[in-house]
């Protein structure tokens, strides 16, 4: 069966995989689940979690060794089987939750690294542009006259004007004395 509408064909994904856009509702629920797993993993990675778990285990063991026989629910003689099962169950859920949280963190790190790389490229391009501009300004400054050069030229011009004015003054003095 040939498709008449080619707009639904995705060329950026392998054939056979579902490459349709995930509905917004599912994306939000997946993100909520991911945030929940991160919160649980973050909680399990704290010293408080270890302290509370230690207190729980010690209380469990203390109660089941000191309580009267009829009130015990996990016997020490058979190795605290219920406690072992509870801790195994907790560990079997903790490992995948921690892995999910780590995968999400890896994804965020990958995005952050890409953004840092792009920012570094922009900074490098800006730095190279500014370096070229500084070189161009230095070259342009070589062609400009400095203050000392202008002062020297002005002094030379003033001296030249003074020299030109002296023969005229002498000529006027000579003309004024001879005509009087």
Range of the domain at 63: 20-144
* pLDDT per residue as tens digits for the range 114-132: 999 999 999 999 999 999 9
Contact in structure between 76 and 57 (CB atoms under 8 Å):
no
Residue 87 lies in a domain: yes
| Tally of domains in the chain | 1
Q: Is residue 154 part of a domain?
A: no
Does residue 12 form part of some domain?
no
**What's the 3-state SS for 31-66?**
HHHHHHHHHHHHHHCCHHHHHHHHHHHHHHHHHHHH
Instruction: Give me the DSSP letters along 79-135.
Output: T-HHHHHHHHHHHHHHHHHHHHHHHHHHHHHHHHHHHHHHHHHHHHHHHHHHHHHHH
- According to the model, what pLDDT value does residue 175 have? 66
Stretch among 99-103, 132-136, 139-143 having the lowest mean pLDDT? 139-143
Q: Say if 104 falls within a structural domain.
A: yes
pTM, rounded to two decimals: 0.47
Domain-embedded: residue 176:
no
Q: What is the pLDDT of residues 18-65, one digit of tens each?
A: 555 555 666 677 788 888 888 888 888 889 999 999 999 999 999 999
> Residue 148: pLDDT band by 50, 70, 90 thresholds?
confident
């Amino acid at each position: 069966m040939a498709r008449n509408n080619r707009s639904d064909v995705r060329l950026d994904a392998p054939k056979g995989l579902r490459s349709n856009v995930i509905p917004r509702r599912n994306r939000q629920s997946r993100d909520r689940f991911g945030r929940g797993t991160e919160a649980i993993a973050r909680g399990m990675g704290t010293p408080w979690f270890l302290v509370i778990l230690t207190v729980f285990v010690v209380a469990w063991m203390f109660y089941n060794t000191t309580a009267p026989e009829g009130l015990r629910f996990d016997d020490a003689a058979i190795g605290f089987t219920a406690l072992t099962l509870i801790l195994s169950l907790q560990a079997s859920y903790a490992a995948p939750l921690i892995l999910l949280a780590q995968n999400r963190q890896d994804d965020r790190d990958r995005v952050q690294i890409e953004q840092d790389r792009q920012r570094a490229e922009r900074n490098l391009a800006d730095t190279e542009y500014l370096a070229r501009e500084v070189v161009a300004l230095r070259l342009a400054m070589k062609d400009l006259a400095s203050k000392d050069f202008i002062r020297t030229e002005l002094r030379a011009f003033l001296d030249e004007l003074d020299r030109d004015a002296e023969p005229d003054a002498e000529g006027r003095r000579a003309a004024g004395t001879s005509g009087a």
